[in-house]
Amino acid sequence: MNDASGSDCCQLLGLYDSPFTRRVAITLTLYGMPFEHLSLSVFRQMDAMRPLNPLFKVPMLTLPDGEKLYESAYLLDYLDELAADRGLEPLTPRAGPARRRVLQTVALAIVATEKAVAIEYERKRPLERQWPDWTSRLRGQMRQALAMLEEQLATVARNAGGASASDHFLVGGRLTQADISTAVGIGFVRYVLPHEWPADEYPALAALAARLEASDAFRAVPIDQ
């Protein structure tokens, strides 16, 4: 559904190796909303990025009328609103306890993802300027968030009367933004920091991520683009 064109098409700016850009692209794909993907790096293609997005902040979604939206959480809320207006079930419920449960789970996924991104940035610093204690702290926060997500998914499976979490979702028995953001975050860690992903510690999450990465929507948004 990406790389579309036309006056009614949105444009999504950012590389898919950004977990924040990728989760927006997957959401657009799941909703069947056409978009053009403008694949530019905020680091390697600054000259091309500057006239489009002088903030150097991705993802950025440009609407058909030229309005530009920033910050993936806001972009997702906007897309959920569009989906609801079109009679689709939003990936994040619009109100009530179900909305809070999904948003709280997304928050855990974002903690894990943001700490992984910070580890990668620290790793890119000159060796003599890296701070091992800081990296250790980030790793601890990332793994704690992943452990909480693992326990949540395993609990869902236990409450459903099954020993395996491979066929379950994190919240409400259906695919939500909680699952998408979690799987995208795991995909980032495994792609950029494979040594930081101890899959044997998170078997339920590993199964969820594998199932979603094999789906059409995820395959349409490959992390290496």
Greater confidence (96 vs 165) lies with 96
pLDDT in tens, 28-60: 999 999 999 999 887 787 888 798 878 888 999
CATH number at 10-85: 3.40.30.10
Answer yes or no: is pLDDT of 5 > 70. no
Position 123 scores a pLDDT of: 92
Q: Per-residue confidence at 205, pLDDT binned at 50, 70, 90?
A: very high
Is-same-fold flag (10-85; 96-215)?
Answer: no
Q: Per-residue confidence at 165, pLDDT binned at 50, 70, 90?
A: low
Position 7 scores a pLDDT of: 53
Instruction: Give the separation between CA 4 and CA 16, rounded to whole angstroms.
Output: 16
Instruction: Give the separation between CA 73 and CA 65, rounded to whole angstroms.
Output: 21
Domain boundaries along the sequence of the chain: 10-85, 96-215
Residues 195 and 202: beta-carbon distance below 8 Å: no
Structure tokens at 48: 């091309």
Is the CATH code 3.40.190.10 the one for domain 96-215? no
